[in-house]
Structure 1
Amino acid sequence: MENSQTARTHLNMQIAAGALLTAAVLGIYAQSLGFDFIDLDDGVYVTQNPVVRAGLTAKGVAWAFQTLHGGFWIPLTWIFLMADQSLFGGGAWGFHLTNMLLHLANSLLVLWILSSLTKSFRLSLLSALIFAVHPLHVESVCWVSERKDVLFAFFFLFAVGAHGRYAHSRKRAWLAWTFCAGFLSLAAKPMAVTLPFILLILDYWPLNRFSRESARSLIVEKIPLALMCLGFGLITLYAQNLYRGVQSLDAVPLAARVGGAVYAYGWYALKSLWPLNLGVFYPHAGMDLPVYQAVSAGFFFAAATGLAWRFRKRLPWLTGGWFFFIVALLPVIGLVQSGLQGRADRFMYIPLLGLIIGAVWTGDWLIRKRDSLAKPGIALTAAFVIFLFVVSTMQAAAWKDSITLYAHTLDVTRKNYMVHEYLGSSLAARGRSAEAAEEYKKALAINPRHGDAWYGLGCLAVNRGEFEEGAECFKQALMWEPDHVEALFGLATAQMQLGDVSAAVKNLKKVLAADPGHVQAGKSLQTLMDGTSKAMWD
């Protein structure tokens, strides 16, 4: 009878915890069902992707496994996006709904996995609640393009849970489930390449499997998973190079990468505690990072790592959580620089969990050591969770549409030439040409070498019929970015209008050599060639 009562109480606690997490996620993200797509990347993944727009088909699934579109091999993400298209008819609300439900599922998984691994339902619930409402997760949930983030995390967490079951039962079936879930996580987003190392950290704490005697066997059991992760990592590097995503050492020197990486660790840790002034893009500081910031970040990182190691026996959860955070962020910390961003909120979707674990279990340890801290500790924790909920609700509202998002980002960041250009492009697409030109000029005032801003100004000039000005803008874009295919096509278009047929033909051929599938360039070249032939006969 007593066991039955205990089981019923535990079930009621689980139902109440699930209801709390559901209310928290819906309270923040239900508003996203009224949000639009974002001009940044949503065209690549959905709105201008004819395969995704066709819905879930056999042809589409085959394409998903064959393509490196967007610079990644992410077949599972493509399949989920196609399924959304079929289920919801292409409306943005359906894609936002799925992202929200995946985040809710991930929050529930955090509760289930941590309570299973640590045997502390209370602390696991608090960790899951912070995970559910933290503002650093808003970007991953509200941005349709980041379906890959919430999807990879779902299977990543499932793999962690399966590994915990294997550690407790020693049944090899759970080891197989870990491998399968790892594959699905990697097939959604290659950031899951850190999974074998994260599992080793969890073997240290909370599974308490790690020792000198067991270290070799723990490593060996993860070799198949590690080899798979290595394969995915190599595919990703190839795909990023193919799409020119990986920056050269000339563009971002090694010293700037190391300094930026150390600074980023400190920035992420700070934003975990005080997540204000978040935006969609943070420019890489490069060699312009102030020395005092680099030194301060380096000191913080070294001190935090040293303390976590120093107290590894007394506070193993703090050590495990800190190294979870460090390792999970490694693929995107900037040592291999992909893209132009210095940091991104979305990169913290899984790494944040390490900091949450370290903070929650350490706080509980402090309260248990000194009873007088119990009441202020509970009050502070409640205030912090409410603070996170309010900030997330406000941050989510910024993702209403592209112009709102970019304007918000410009309000909270400095010298953000990329977002000035993004805003210019969004304004231009909506016919607000004068405002768009101003944004492009602001971008160029910060970075005169930004080819996309020159390209945007060129397009505006051509649309006004000022072809000479347009041609000069396109030439400026090509001066700084010789591989800018659209600027080359724009230059050829302007030259056609100016009557410089030979130059236009030459540049159109260059466009087709760089991008054989460029339909407009092919049609324009055919028109010019037909016109030239007709003129010869006339």
Structure 2
Amino acid sequence: MTQKVKTTTGIPSTRLTCGFIFLITFAVFSGALDNQFVLWDDNGFIYNNPFITSLSLENLWTMATTFHYSNWQPLSWLSHAIDYQLFGLHPAGHHLTSVLFHCWNTFWVFLIVREYLAYTCKKNLDVRVLWQSALIAAFFFGLHPLRVESVAWVSERKDVLSTFLAFPVFLTYLRYVTAQEAKRKLFWMRISLVLFFLSLTAKPMPLTLPLILLLLDYYPFARWQKSSDLIPLIREKIPFFVLSLASVLITLLAQNQIGAIKNFEQIVLTRRIANAFQSLSSIYLEKSFWPVVLSPFYYYPRTYEGVWISVVLFLTISGLCYQSWRKEKPLFAIAWLYFLITLLPVIGIVQVGEQAAADRYTYFPSLCLSLLVGAGIYSARHTKITAQKIALDKIAIFAMSAVLVLFSTLTFKQVKVWEESLNFWEQVGKTNPERGAWTLARRGNVLLLRGQVDEAIQLFVEGLKYRPNDFYLHFSLGTAYTLKKKYVEAEKEYLKTMSISPNVASVHNALGKLYAATGKLALAEENLKKAIEITPRFPLAYLNLGELYLAQNRLQLAEDAFNTALKDHPASANAYDNLGTIYSRRKDYAKAEQYFQKAVKKDKIYFQAFIHLGELYTEIGEVGKAENAYRKVLEILPDWKEIQERITALRKTEIRAPH
């Protein structure tokens, strides 16, 4: 049977549509280009991440084989490394890349909605209405305020990149299903598998995709019509399930390194289930259609008194979808199952981190909502033309346009929340007033990084008035006092944190640093070893222990500590620099030079290693190399007078040297 298609003139080409989608989406998110990095993972992911500073084979291997920042996401690291080569540490360039990925993902949604509606509406297909429906559905995805967190937060590049690779699987799988020749089917299946694998190397969010493909086999592809059809369909997707399982295991292993996975003593199962229902209704569903009072961080509620409303809503939607399915209208049931299944990894039954929910978790799941919007518009408009229908069409188009304008306005405003760190944490405090003390601690840490230590102390002290036994506030105050060299006050705060929560590795590490600074070397060693005992894979504690041994000239112990740190943090410029110092003290200048060079290769702005290279070259009489090394320091810190004086002294030495 041939497909009957209503053809109309004036339908823009796919390329023109792509350009239009890019233009509108980019305009709405363009404010992100004025944003800075924020003190929430951007420090570890971007500006303190040494192995994105070059595309060397060593760094590429590190990206692929280590759990930096307790994540395995080599493709995301690679994208950040490419950005670093193009833009350095200028935030605008990094934001630009994320915005462009999001623009393309919006176009993917247009193609997915268009192709799947065309497949399901083969009879009397109206191309003009199809194009309009797909376009509105794409903008419902692309301009939605819930997308802001994934786009305007550079660390969430992994979200837009992973989705950029996962969304086209829906198109390639459609080609697989509709292909007639075995070779073509095999080709499209392999392409789907490769895209799925790559998406998982950016972020594991799409790991439920094999289950989604089974849903598509049921509807709209009708490949799963009876129970006996299921086994062959599962068999053809075994490679997908294997990749998903591997991704789950790797993610759990990576997150468990720092204890990010909460056990059932920390958050009991009943609380997790209650939070899952409440997050599903009050955040993921409600804010999908009424996206106001968004927060970069949603805390676990203190009580779940109204959770029964969320359970009733869940059962009601599930019941309505079931009734629709019974009436042979499975679209709503499939969309609802898609939404639930794709949210399953982040719904909190396996709890990773402190958040109860997150806007970014809607990025991949929201495709089903766009499909419903597109299908609804097409169904409403693809009917017999009457005067009444024309009037209703105009009202519907005006209403949808108004919604998209409202979304765009809210999105433009939400982008500014991520403008800089202080503004960011102030917004978290406004949307979570009952957690004000915690946000005061975060704002204080931003001030610490800016060198405004006194102002930070004021915020920490203010926060402790509300929560006198808050671990994070006491720890942060201890850090501030350490920076002010008020070691007695700092020790008091660290000991208070230990009374609140004993056996925390970071506290023992901080105490170790403090005792080393005050000359209490035995206590320093004891606490650093305790930190390592609590968290055996703690490279920072090994670095601090190595520096303690180096200060005591216990060179072999120091070398062992630095090498152990490099096992878990192979991109540590600090470790390589200290190893260079060890070999320099041993008068093994060739090996010392190798380690100093490795340090600056890992981190091009690690000026201490350039200073040590300058000192080494001076000691062995390589005046020209010493001057070049010091000039590298001045490229990073141009006003450093001591380094300028060293260069002047080297030139005088060179002039006096006999020719």
Task: In structure 1, list runs of 5 or more residues that go unmatched.
Answer: 531-538
* Mapping of residues 129-278 of structure 1, within 5 Å: 129-170=139-180, 171-212=185-226, 214-266=229-281, 267-278=283-294
| Separation (CA, whole Å) in 2 of partners of 1:278 and 1:445 | 27
* Mapping of residues 92-491 of structure 1, within 5 Å: 92-119=91-118, 120-170=130-180, 171-212=185-226, 214-266=229-281, 267-285=283-301, 288-292=302-306, 294-312=307-325, 313-362=327-376, 364-365=378-379, 371=389, 373-416=392-435, 417-441=437-461, 443-444=463-464, 450-491=470-511
Coordinate RMSD, CA, aligned: 2.5
1:86 aligns with 2:85: yes
| Separation (CA, whole Å) in 1 of partners of 2:9 and 2:382 | 28
Judged with a 3 Å threshold, the aligned counterparts in structure 2 of structure 1 residues 438 and 198 are, in CA distance, closer, same or farther, namely farther
| Separation (CA, whole Å) in 2 of partners of 1:280 and 1:196 | 30
1:510 aligns with 2:530: yes
Tell me the percent identity. 28
| Separation (CA, whole Å) in 2 of partners of 1:27 and 1:258 | 40
Structure 1 stretch displaced more, 419-428 or 516-525? 516-525
| Separation (CA, whole Å) in 1 of partners of 2:295 and 2:359 | 8
| Separation (CA, whole Å) in 2 of partners of 1:483 and 1:185 | 37
Matched position secondary structure for 2:264: coil
Query: Where does residue 31 of structure 1 map in the other structure?
Result: 31
Q: Please report how far the alpha carbon of residue 449 of structure 1 lies from its aligned counterpart in structure 2 after TM superposition.
A: 5.3
Matched position secondary structure for 2:418: coil
Name the amino acid aligned to 1:523.
E
Q: Please report how far the alpha carbon of residue 355 of structure 1 lies from its aligned counterpart in structure 2 after TM superposition.
A: 2.1
| Separation (CA, whole Å) in 1 of partners of 2:339 and 2:250 | 24
1:50 aligns with 2:66: no
Counterpart contact for 1:512–1:521, Cα < 8 Å:
no
Judged with a 3 Å threshold, the aligned counterparts in structure 2 of structure 1 residues 86 and 309 are, in CA distance, closer, same or farther, namely same
Matched position secondary structure for 1:435: helix
**1:200-219 CA deviation, whole Å, 9 max, x = no partner?**
22233333433115333322
| Separation (CA, whole Å) in 1 of partners of 2:539 and 2:151 | 36
Judged with a 3 Å threshold, the aligned counterparts in structure 2 of structure 1 residues 201 and 166 are, in CA distance, closer, same or farther, namely same
Structure 1 stretch displaced more, 432-441 or 375-384? 432-441
Matched position secondary structure for 2:41: helix
Matched position secondary structure for 2:356: strand
Matched position secondary structure for 2:352: coil
| Separation (CA, whole Å) in 2 of partners of 1:191 and 1:483 | 32
Counterpart contact for 2:205–2:364, Cα < 8 Å:
no
Q: Please report how far the alpha carbon of residue 363 of structure 1 lies from its aligned counterpart in structure 2 after TM superposition.
A: 5.1
Q: Please report how far the alpha carbon of residue 451 of structure 1 lies from its aligned counterpart in structure 2 after TM superposition.
A: 3.0
| Separation (CA, whole Å) in 1 of partners of 2:235 and 2:310 | 35
Query: Where does residue 522 of structure 1 map in the other structure?
Result: 546
Matched position secondary structure for 1:282: coil
Q: Please report how far the alpha carbon of residue 445 of structure 1 lies from its aligned counterpart in structure 2 after TM superposition.
A: 5.5
Counterpart contact for 2:32–2:415, Cα < 8 Å:
yes
Q: Please report how far the alpha carbon of residue 298 of structure 1 lies from its aligned counterpart in structure 2 after TM superposition.
A: 1.1
Q: Please report how far the alpha carbon of residue 425 of structure 1 lies from its aligned counterpart in structure 2 after TM superposition.
A: 0.6
| Separation (CA, whole Å) in 2 of partners of 1:94 and 1:449 | 42
| Separation (CA, whole Å) in 2 of partners of 1:77 and 1:498 | 41
Counterpart contact for 2:206–2:364, Cα < 8 Å:
no
| Separation (CA, whole Å) in 1 of partners of 2:59 and 2:200 | 19
**1:276-296 CA deviation, whole Å, 9 max, x = no partner?**
1112211122xx22312x111
Name the amino acid aligned to 2:417.
A
Name the amino acid aligned to 2:250.
I
**1:62-109 CA deviation, whole Å, 9 max, x = no partner?**
111111112222111111111111122332222111111110111111
Name the amino acid aligned to 1:100.
V
Name the amino acid aligned to 2:291.
P
Name the amino acid aligned to 1:403.
L
**1:144-195 CA deviation, whole Å, 9 max, x = no partner?**
1111100110111121211111111151210111111110011111111111
Query: Where does residue 615 of structure 2 map in the other structure?
Result: none
Q: Please report how far the alpha carbon of residue 56 of structure 1 lies from its aligned counterpart in structure 2 after TM superposition.
A: 1.7
| Separation (CA, whole Å) in 2 of partners of 1:299 and 1:462 | 52
Name the amino acid aligned to 2:30.
A
Judged with a 3 Å threshold, the aligned counterparts in structure 2 of structure 1 residues 20 and 445 are, in CA distance, closer, same or farther, namely farther
| Separation (CA, whole Å) in 2 of partners of 1:442 and 1:296 | 37
TM-score, with structure 1 as normaliser: 0.90
**1:347-396 CA deviation, whole Å, 9 max, x = no partner?**
11011111222244235545668947434322221111111000000001
Structure 1 stretch displaced more, 20-29 or 369-378? 369-378
Name the amino acid aligned to 2:525.
V
Name the amino acid aligned to 2:323.
R
Matched position secondary structure for 1:341: coil
Matched position secondary structure for 1:40: coil
**1:107-135 CA deviation, whole Å, 9 max, x = no partner?**
11111122112213332211111111011
Counterpart contact for 2:113–2:374, Cα < 8 Å:
no
Counterpart contact for 1:240–1:338, Cα < 8 Å:
yes
Counterpart contact for 2:428–2:439, Cα < 8 Å:
yes
Q: Please report how far the alpha carbon of residue 13 of structure 1 lies from its aligned counterpart in structure 2 after TM superposition.
A: 4.2
Structure 1 stretch displaced more, 336-345 or 58-67? 58-67
Judged with a 3 Å threshold, the aligned counterparts in structure 2 of structure 1 residues 100 and 116 are, in CA distance, closer, same or farther, namely same
Q: Please report how far the alpha carbon of residue 438 of structure 1 lies from its aligned counterpart in structure 2 after TM superposition.
A: 4.0
| Separation (CA, whole Å) in 2 of partners of 1:295 and 1:245 | 29
**1:468-495 CA deviation, whole Å, 9 max, x = no partner?**
2211111222334445433223223434
Q: Please report how far the alpha carbon of residue 452 of structure 1 lies from its aligned counterpart in structure 2 after TM superposition.
A: 2.9
Judged with a 3 Å threshold, the aligned counterparts in structure 2 of structure 1 residues 445 and 299 are, in CA distance, closer, same or farther, namely farther
Q: Please report how far the alpha carbon of residue 226 of structure 1 lies from its aligned counterpart in structure 2 after TM superposition.
A: 1.0
Structure 1 stretch displaced more, 199-208 or 330-339? 199-208
Judged with a 3 Å threshold, the aligned counterparts in structure 2 of structure 1 residues 359 and 480 are, in CA distance, closer, same or farther, namely farther
Name the amino acid aligned to 1:56.
L
TM-score, with structure 2 as normaliser: 0.75
| Separation (CA, whole Å) in 1 of partners of 2:221 and 2:466 | 51
- Count residues with an aligned counterpart: 522
Judged with a 3 Å threshold, the aligned counterparts in structure 2 of structure 1 residues 314 and 443 are, in CA distance, closer, same or farther, namely farther
Query: Where does residue 569 of structure 2 map in the other structure?
Result: none
Counterpart contact for 1:488–1:511, Cα < 8 Å:
yes
| Separation (CA, whole Å) in 2 of partners of 1:361 and 1:446 | 51
